[in-house]
Amino acid sequence: MRARRERERTWMDVLPPKLLRLSGRDFGTGRINFVQIGCSPTGEQCRALRSGFPGVLGDMSLQVKEAVVGRFDRTELAGYGVELRVHDPDLEQPALGAKAYYMKNVLHDFLDEKCVSVLQHLRQACAPDSLVLIDEMVLPTADSEPEQAQPGLRMLSYLTAMERTRLQWETLITRAGLQLQRIYTYDTELGDSVIVAVRA
């Protein structure tokens, strides 16, 4: 059921496309528009972004670990203007000054200290107007969650990974030297959201 919902709605249904548009000056400098950090072959977002937001132009980069890079078709991605690159999010971010850095279900596999480290690498790579897009579940806080949703969300958080509340996400983001700008929720039942952060 969760997989079906994700096919129906994604972060692209709620994030305003204008946030990802480059300026004329950006094109002149060859600025990278969109960097996706980590994904499975079925979770690649660059081509979907290119198709769903045709007004969002500019080069894109898909960064995956060496162990899985062979699962992707480099030539096919290049046809969409997407560079396939081997990169580990634990290391310094090589794509400097991109308009947006995007991660889906990457940080929920990590404990807090590792999350902060990954986000710090992104913060160091960010330009003043760069966006860090974190596509994760945002659990409701204990004093605001509906009683009927509380048991299911708690069980789901135990089974999937370390899912976090808004306050927990904001704390991690702040520790990394970033600032939480806004959260766009695209699945209100499960809390699937794209968290937008910028340099503090």
pLDDT tens profile 20-69: 999 888 988 989 999 999 987 767 899 899 988 888 889 999 999 999 99
Q: What is the mean pLDDT of residues 148-169?
A: 64
Helix axes 166-175, 112-125, angle to 10 degrees: 50
- Residue 151 has a pLDDT of 43
Catalytic one of 21, 108, 166, 175: 108
- Residue 4 has a pLDDT of 47
- Residue 73 has a pLDDT of 92
Query: Which DSSP string do the residues of 46-64 spell out, in sequence order?
Result: HHHHHHH-TT--SEEEEEE
Q: Is the distance from CB of 61 to CB of 98 less than 8 angstroms? A: yes
Query: Which DSSP string do the residues of 5-52 spell out, in sequence order?
Result: HHHH--GGGTS-GGGGPPPHHHHHHT-EEEEEES--GGG--HHHHHHH
How far is CA 85 from each of CA 14, 80, 166, rounded to the nearest angstrom? Answer: 28, 15, 31
| Nearest-angstrom CA–CA distance, 5 and 191 | 12
β-bridge partners, 182 = 196
For residue 152, what pLDDT band results from cuts at 50, 70 and 90? very low
**Average pLDDT across the chain, whole number:** 87
Q: What is the mean pLDDT of residues 155-159?
A: 49
The domains located in the chain, with CATH, are 2-199 (3.40.50.150)
For residue 142, what pLDDT band results from cuts at 50, 70 and 90? low
Q: What are phi and psi of 85, to 5 degrees?
A: -135, 140
| Nearest-angstrom CA–CA distance, 11 and 34 | 14
- Residue 97 has a pLDDT of 97
pTM for this structure? 0.87
- Of 89, 86, 35, 34, the closest CA to residue 65 belongs to 86
Higher local confidence (pLDDT), 76 or 156: 76
* 87 in active site: no
Q: What pLDDT digit, counting tens, does each position of 80-112 carry?
A: 999 999 999 999 999 999 999 999 999 988 999
Q: What is the mean pLDDT of residues 133-159?
A: 63
Both tokens assigned to 147: 């009683």
